[in-house]
Amino acid sequence: MTSAPVTPAHPPARGDVAPGSTSSLRGANQRRVLAVLQAAAGAEALSQAALARETGLAPATVSNIVRDLAAAELVETTVGAGRRGTTVRIARSAGLVAGIDIGHRHARVVVGDLTGEVLAHDRRPLGAAHPSEEGLDLVAAMLEGLVADLGRETDPGPLRSIGFGLPAPIARTSDGREVVMESAILPGWVGLDARQAAQERFATPVHVENDANLGALAEHTRGAGVGHGTMAFVKVSSGIGSGLIIGGEPFRGSLGTAGEIGHLTLDEQGPMCRCGSRGCLEAYASVGSIETLLAERLPEATFDEVVAAAADGNVVAARVFEDAGLHLGWGLAMLANLVNPSAIVVGGDLARAGDLVLDWVRVGLRRHALASVAQDTVVCASTLGDRASAIGALALAVRTVELIPAGGIG
Ligand SMILES: [Zn+2]
């Protein structure tokens, strides 16, 4: 069971601001203005009238918000001579955000600007059994190196926010902790308030999130899920987890652990799962279960070699992907019947098998979901590949930039 007592938090887990208060309304309005400017980044600067139109806010409100954001050095304004009046854009030196993804065998760090554009990235190997301090040391060194490199040419401004992904359920508590729950993948982190530990290390605001939830955010904002307001991302690597976007927003559940589909029971008498139960989805369709199945027939083959063998017509390799795909489709049918997403994006290592496995996922989904649901659910591979969680962590950092410090301007 879990090693830390947790109580549900009320989303969006900004415990310092009461919902409905003047400051929370101001914060929400600031975020709306910033989101429109982020979406317009790369195009010409927007007039304040256009910002009012796009956000639905009164021109006077927009004017006040722009003044606050400019004082916080997040936006820059240009006083126009013509009828457009003052125009606004994200400031060139508005600062940086970072996304960190700790995986089963690696650590990845990306640094981007406030629009979520990736400016620099790094990836290093990291053993699964490492203690959390070792992981934090590694990503801190990687982040420091990337920021220093970026600072050599221009002044990019301060590092404002970090999104931090871990392959484990993350519980957000009512007192602001973000605790790593039970995880067979990353035992050295279980029970840790990862948010506090990371904030102490980086001296920057941090938000921690499960890697599959971050993959969903990444695919929704920049990948195969763009345009799908209700979608699921399923990460199939050594384990299986999913992240949900509902009505355009990440859905976390009451504790923050929604989407843990890897341990749906498909057969009570089935093979043992590492969670201690039998016949879980993960025991049939994870990359780990595929490697176990092939241990005798293709003992030396890497996962990519198994994919190549299946593509070349090796019947054993092809059959393993067929079975894994059918089981995955069965599990996804339950998810589709419950949530009715318009797209299910499959990511993680398994996605490298492409249609060799996804064709069977579609068959499994059709077999077990309601006919109308199966017909309307697109199943596709991630377009962000193994960068999905890190890019999602960057997107989380963009969404959680502290706009105006508490007690600051105003
Ligand atoms: Zn299990």
Predicted pLDDT of residue 18: 54
Are 166 and 180 in contact, with CB atoms under 8 Å apart? Answer: yes
Task: Give the CA angle between residues 136, 139, 145 to the nearest 5°.
Answer: 135
- The dihedrals phi and psi of 83, each to the nearest 5 degrees, come to -75, -10
User: Alpha carbon of 321 to those of 313, 328, 374, 404: distances in Å?
Assistant: 12, 10, 20, 51
State the 10-residue block means of pLDDT for the chain, 410 residues long: 43 46 79 85 81 92 92 87 78 92 92 92 92 95 95 87 94 89 83 95 94 95 94 94 94 88 95 91 94 86 93 95 97 96 96 96 98 95 94 94 55
For the CA atoms of 123, 382, 340, 173, the dihedral, rounded to the nearest 10 degrees, stands at: 0
The predicted pLDDT at position 84 comes to 65
Predicted pLDDT of residue 265: 96
| Predicted pLDDT at 82 | 65
The predicted structure's pLDDT at residue 404: 61
Element of type H or E holding 233: strand 231-236
Q: What span, in angstroms and rounded, lies between the C-alpha atoms of 388 and 219?
A: 7
In angstroms, what is the span from residue 397 Cα to ligand 1's centroid? 31
Alpha carbon 200 to its chain's center: 22
Compute the distance from residue 111 Cα to the ligand 1 centre, in Å. Answer: 35
User: What is the CA(300)–ligand 1 centre distance, in A?
Assistant: 26
Residue 315 Cα to ligand 1 middle (Å): 28
Cα(189) to centroid(ligand 1), Å: 19
What separation in Å is there between the alpha carbon of 188 and the centre of ligand 1? 20
Give the distance (Å) from ligand 1 centre to CA of residue 283.
7
Ligand 1 centre and the CA of 136: distance in Å? 28
Quote the ligand 1 centre to 369 CA distance (angstroms). 22
| CA 239 to ligand 1 centroid distance, Å | 9
Cα 292 to averaged position of ligand 1 atoms, centre (Å)? 15
In the prediction, which pLDDT does 14 show?
39
How far, in Å, from the CA of 276 to the mean position of ligand 1? 6
Task: Determine the Cα–Cα distance for residues 280 and 274; give it in Å rounded to an integer.
Answer: 9
Record the tokens describing residue 145, joined without a space.
Answer: 């190196």
* φ and ψ of 221, to 5 deg: -90, -30
pLDDT at 73: 87
For residue 231, the cross-strand partners are 245, 343
pLDDT for 275-293, tens place per residue? 899 999 999 999 989 988 8
- Residue 203 confidence (pLDDT): 92
Domains along the chain with CATH numbers: 22-90 (1.10.10.10), 96-215+392-399 (3.30.420.40), 225-383 (3.30.420.40)
Cα of 277 to ligand 1 centre, how many Å? 5
